[in-house]
Structure 1
């Protein structure tokens, strides 16, 4: 959510947004860059993404502690376990697994760190991980991406031949397109072919997502089964995909008519889910494996609790609104 708030600051210049994030981070970052309130679970890619707010805070305040904290935040990635394809595991407790969620949690921050440290090899690594996900997790027919892949084929949710999970979860693809557009944005000046590949993958993915959008302009919890009983339009996926479309238009990856489709989705998102006090319709959490076991089935994704004001949805809405303001 901090990222969305900072993007609203960038779009509006209203320092209230910057001050909100600064006040929240003030006690979290020590003078030497240590993160005393941050207790990362060892090798958990979900813990990495929050580090993206440190560089904007450093630039806005000039406080050296925020720059030092960027190095602290990157440290786990130096030894993070990887698949044989060289992709980061999702977590140590999910070995040999790549989830779409994890691309957003790790790759934009890694690309940002590559810029800070002037290390193009890090961006090359990011491009390799993205290309591998396209090669393995993309369905060749509809262009959608499966939620996860188990290289070891050990999980019950994994297809014994491909290692892929069975369904296309909405928010997983929301994370994926956010990872693509933010990585592209942060990689300006790095390898042109790598950036071109990211842009191509994003453009093709947006086309696939628009093909399964609801009549109202939103996206379903299980993307390709909108007419199936129990499925529903989900707020966080819709906000993330809308953000990616609008930002891709601003950066020249998709055209003006596609931006208009993104604005249609933003209007639908606000009309369908936003009240004066809440963003409703957010899937609280979903994953694969674990305890109790999540089998990746259609019924599983529909069984997860639907909540209001979850940061995963609110932050994405802020990001989409910020892009809508950048005309």
Structure 2
């Protein structure tokens, strides 16, 4: 592999990210803010704080952070998407991060309102929060949106019930969406009628699973009473995902379809979450080499202005266009931050 100037790459990616704030975003900038905070460049952190302030400023009367209007989707398994509170909880994670940095009580109050909206939302029969008002559906994306936020608020507020809810949501989503034999996550399930709306082993979907696990474990601690279940799911998932990594370092958009395009965001999510699991002490150190290859191959595609191409836009799965997105940018920064000492 060619030597990677990680600092220069992160700077370019960060500059592009901050120059493209996507004002009416509901969740996509959350991984970008998380990455900026993890890399911890003072100027970038200050600029990203304005995004968080804006999310709080436009928090709706229903408690949703950011904008909560209906979303139009193209070429996906859902033609429209009317979010429940489970989507905007992704921004709540960043609101709490800035609260912990500077103690602004307005941020904690906004996070509480977001949590109240989530907890009051509709659930499947076994307690999983719906993702869209059009029906009782579980999408693998949403354990990343919800669970680290609930765990973080529970830790800050010293409310074990919120931590328990985070773990419960992971349990419910895993039960419905993770194949018990192959240990890979399917994309979306609907309770009534019982069906998979989109059942492929989607690359980024499996990234949402592993990122949710490591970020939730970061909040509750790897020795928490409920952590062993999360680590067991993660160890099986990492092994199953890694088996599909191409020799170049990329993953295909549909993991087990070698004719599917390579996809950057899922590749980066694997790199970030695998490195973090190793650094947390519960995943074999051999995964660092796999994570390094993933970051190197994506880094080679960064455009001169800092844009990362080859990221599939929402809602993911087969047949959806590729572009540059805030979450793709953010997971590059997160992966770089988690691997910075290994890549030095």
Q: TM-score range by the shorter chain?
A: 0.7 to 0.9
In the alignment, does 2:275 pair up with 1:221? no
Structure-2 residue corresponding to 1:238 = 267
Contact 2:30 2:327 in 1 (8 A): no
TM-fit CA distance, 1:6: 4.4
Contact 2:38 2:334 in 1 (8 A): no
Distance 1:238 1:73, change over 3 A: same
Structure-1 residue corresponding to 2:79 = none
Higher RCO, 1 or 2 (CA under 8 Å, sep at least 6)? 2
Q: Which runs of 5+ in 2 are unaligned?
A: 1-28, 70-82
TM-fit CA distance, 1:207: 0.5
Contact 2:144 2:212 in 1 (8 A): yes
Alpha-carbon separation, structure 1, partners of 2:52 and 2:167: 30
Structure-1 residue corresponding to 2:21 = none
Distance 1:78 1:36, change over 3 A: closer
Structure-2 residue corresponding to 1:82 = 123
TM-fit CA distance, 1:246: 0.9
Residue deviations 1:83-131 (CA, integer Å, cap 9, x gap): 01111111212x2211101111111111111112211122222222222
Structure-2 residue corresponding to 1:259 = 288
Distance 1:6 1:130, change over 3 A: closer
TM-fit CA distance, 1:28: 4.3
Alpha-carbon separation, structure 2, partners of 1:88 and 1:5: 24
Question: Alignment partner for residue 247 of structure 1, among 253, 263, 276?
Answer: 276
Residue deviations 1:31-79 (CA, integer Å, cap 9, x gap): x998898342462422211111112212322322112211122121121
Alpha-carbon separation, structure 2, partners of 1:96 and 1:109: 22
Residue deviations 1:238-296 (CA, integer Å, cap 9, x gap): 1111111111111012122111211121112212x312222000111225xxxxxxxxx
Alpha-carbon separation, structure 2, partners of 1:249 and 1:43: 34
Structure-2 residue corresponding to 1:297 = none
TM-fit CA distance, 1:214: 1.4
Over aligned residues, Cα RMSD in angstroms?
2.5
TM-fit CA distance, 1:182: 0.5
Distance 1:250 1:233, change over 3 A: same
Structure-1 residue corresponding to 2:51 = 24
Structure-2 residue corresponding to 1:199 = 231
Contact 2:55 2:66 in 1 (8 A): yes
Structure-2 residue corresponding to 1:46 = 87
Alpha-carbon separation, structure 1, partners of 2:122 and 2:333: 33
Question: Alignment partner for residue 211 of structure 2, among 166, 173, 178?
Answer: 178
TM-score normalised over the length of structure 2: 0.79
**SS state of the match for residue 29, structure 1?**
helix
Contact 2:148 2:215 in 1 (8 A): yes
Contact 2:65 2:89 in 1 (8 A): no
Q: Which runs of 5+ in 1 are unaligned?
A: 288-300
Distance 1:106 1:235, change over 3 A: same
Structure-2 residue corresponding to 1:138 = 178
Residue deviations 1:128-173 (CA, integer Å, cap 9, x gap): 222233333222332211111112226xxx2xxxx57431111111
TM-score normalised over the length of structure 1: 0.83
**SS state of the match for residue 149, structure 1?**
strand
Residue deviations 1:194-219 (CA, integer Å, cap 9, x gap): 11111111111010000111121111
Contact 1:137 1:148 in 2 (8 A): yes
In the alignment, does 2:318 pair up with 1:286? no
Question: Alignment partner for residue 276 of structure 1, among 290, 304, 307?
Answer: 304
**SS state of the match for residue 131, structure 2?**
coil
